[in-house]
Amino acid sequence: MKFTPQVIAAFIATSTLAFSGAAHASALDQFKSFVASTKSAKGDFTQQQLGKSKSGKAAPVSSGTFVFARPGKFIWTYQKPYEQLLQADGETLYIYDKDLNQVTTRKLGNALGSSPAAILFGSNDLEKNFTLLDAGERDGAEWLTAVPKTKDTTFEQIGIGLKGGVPVAMELKDQFGAVSVLKFTNFQRNPALGAQQFTFSVPKGADVVSQ
């Protein structure tokens, strides 16, 4: 599955986690604690759409790394099976496709508002854009459901699984019932980040397209 700018834009444009002293704190309590205490984070992720493709095979698993500083600054790097980079400096989103050697740019603006990306990269005021509900325990994690308050969004609801005060998974359900699963590992809260960490440099010879 190729992560085209259109697929990425859906994740961003339609579209944290935390230290908690209570061993069995609810997902909502853990989430609010995370939001209050986490300014930045980094780690690894995998991403897969559930179900099988038309060929009958399971959808491929993508993997990579992420780093973010809220609000609106992040570097989301797909390493396998295709190399692709999403980077935002708080004002502009850059999508770099290495195979095409092309950079697509778009204003970040309010795009994070009710998107899945807002869960990780947005402001602390998530309840302005989402209805947050505890969803019980599953697979060893406490789950929270975030339902966008606006209807102008690709995603119907977002599940967030937390364990030990940090997110371990997100489930993204779109309006057509398709579900994509993100899993997080090596999650580090509030790492030291350089002042120019999120400044994007256009790769040599790359075409730049604005949307």
Give 166-191 pLDDT, tens digit per residue: 999 999 998 888 899 999 999 999 99
Residue 210 forms part of a structural domain:
no
Please give the Cα distance from 95 to 157 (Å, whole number).
25
Residue 204 domain flag: no
Q: What residue numbers bound the domain in which 120 lies?
A: 5-192
CATH number at residue 90: 2.50.20.10
93 in any annotated domain: yes
Distance CA 130, CA 160 (A): 13
| Residue 53 belongs to some domain of the structure | yes
In a domain, 182, yes or no: yes
Which two structure tokens, joined as six digits, stand for 102? 């092309």
Quick: pLDDT tens for 98-132: 999 999 998 886 556 556 677 777 766 777 778 88
- Residue labelled with tokens 């944290």: 16
Pick from 177, 174, 166: nearest CA to 27: 166
User: pTM score > 0.85 for this model?
Assistant: no
The structural domain count of the chain equals 1
Domain-located, residue 39: yes
Quick check: is 211 in a domain? no
Residue at 103 is within a domain: yes
Q: pLDDT > 70: what percent of the chain? A: 80
Q: Which of 131-140, 149-158, 168-177 has the lowest mean pLDDT?
A: 149-158
